[in-house]
Amino acid sequence: MKVWLASMLILAALWAQTPPDADLSRAVQMRPKDSRLQNAYGIALQQQGRFEESLAHFRTALQLDPKYADAAHNLALALLAGNRPAEALDILDKYPLTTADHFALMGSALNALGRTADAIAPLRRACELAPGSQDYAYDFAIALLKTEKTEDASVVLRKARARFPSSAKIHAASGVLAYHNGKNEEAAREYETATKLEAGAADLWAALGDVYAATDNAVKADVAYSRAVKLAPGIAEYCVKTGRNLLKLQRSVDAESAFRNAVEIDANDAEAHFQLGKLAFARGDNTSAIRHYEHAVASQPSYNAAWYQLSLSYRRSGHEEKARAALENFRKTQ
């Protein structure tokens, strides 16, 4: 659910209307000063994953026609999708428009730069210009929540639920709000509704699992986390969440399997290594415990608990000097 989802959908629609690459390529070669063709070819290249090449054609389109709003928007959108928000924001500032898409994209860029407070004004304007967009309502509400403007977020989401009763993302945002306010049961209901509306969204199932876990309903959390892992087996975070919850259910063997799956996906997942270290330490396997704890602190040097557990494992293995060094790092990271 990225903030610029609506704009990405617009670009996808343009892609669907784009002629085949070979035809466009010949047309661009014959008419290199046609800004419309340059823009269209950039879109076609984006569709093929040829990111850098597409940027060059969007820029060429703008050089040929500095007032070409679509080319400016597509360039900014491509830069943002390529994780270059500062450059995207620069383009948006140079080519200001008064459309909802422009303001939404500006809010997305600011949010990606960690400037969520600055993103609120353009996201608000996007909602005002396009009140029928659930994407803009969601993005605006999440930005408000991130900046602790919960009352404003509540107003936005109440209106959004009335306007978009079948929107999974609006119910998910309402779940975030309820969870933020300590209303865990209400949060669970909102996420349950969201998963019914969009049953294939792994992130919604994982969030539902988080709410269940927060209310100590480990059994329901297991169902939700398992669903998230099934839908998105390549996300280590979901495996770790599953493993932690399985530990609550005293299913240590299954938990260890989940953590091992996590490190297979991401060999540098500090939390997975930490949990594997604890399980190894509990069964007296110091060698494995040390290996996992060392990996955890290497991946995340500020991991306070891992340093402490590593010091205990070193001491149990008779490595007093290493134990003291690990304990010192534990103190430094407190």
Reported pTM: 0.79
Query: What is the per-residue DSSP string for 84-113?
Result: -HHHHHHHHHHS---SHHHHHHHHHHHHHT
Fold for 1-149, please state it: 1.25.40
Evaluate whether 333 touches 307 at the Cβ level (below 8 Å). yes
Q: Average per-residue pLDDT in the chain?
A: 91
| Alpha helical stretches, state H, the chain | 5-17, 21-30, 35-47, 51-64, 69-81, 85-94, 100-112, 116-129, 134-146, 150-163, 168-180, 184-197, 202-214, 218-231, 236-248, 252-265, 270-282, 286-299, 304-316, 320-332
Tokens of 256: 């260890």
Q: How far is CA 280 from CA 73, 116, 288, in A?
A: 53, 42, 6
- pLDDT tens digits in sequence order for the chain, 334 residues long: 333 344 444 444 444 444 446 777 888 888 988 888 988 988 888 888 788 888 999 999 999 999 898 999 999 999 998 899 999 999 999 999 999 999 999 999 999 999 999 999 999 999 999 999 999 999 999 999 999 999 999 999 999 999 999 999 999 999 999 999 999 999 999 999 999 999 999 999 999 999 999 989 999 999 999 999 999 999 999 999 999 999 999 999 999 999 999 999 999 999 999 999 999 999 999 999 999 999 999 999 999 999 999 999 999 999 999 999 999 999 999 9
How is domain 269-334 classified at the architecture level of CATH? Alpha Horseshoe (1.25)
Token pair 């299954």 is at which residue? Answer: 254
Element (H, E) at 31: none
> pLDDT value at position 13?
46
The 10 Å CB-count burial string (b at 16+, else e) for 267-278 is: eebbbbbbbbbb
Counting beta carbons within 10 angstroms of the beta carbon of residue 1, is it exposed (0 to 12), middle (13 to 18) or buried (19 or more)? middle
Residue type, 186: E
DSSP state of 83: T
CB 206 within 8 A of CB 238: yes
Query: What pLDDT is stored for residue 20 in this prediction?
Result: 46
Tell me the DSSP string of 138-173: HHHHHHHHHTT-HHHHHHHHHHHHHH-TT-HHHHHH
pLDDT of residue 183: 93
Whether 127 and 153 have beta carbons less than 8 Å apart is answered as no
Which class for 176: exposed (0-12), middle (13-18), buried (19 or more C-beta within 10 A)?
Answer: buried
Nearest CA among 215, 195, 216 for reference residue 205: 195
Q: What is the reported pLDDT for 47? A: 82
Q: Where are the domains of the chain?
A: 1-149, 269-334
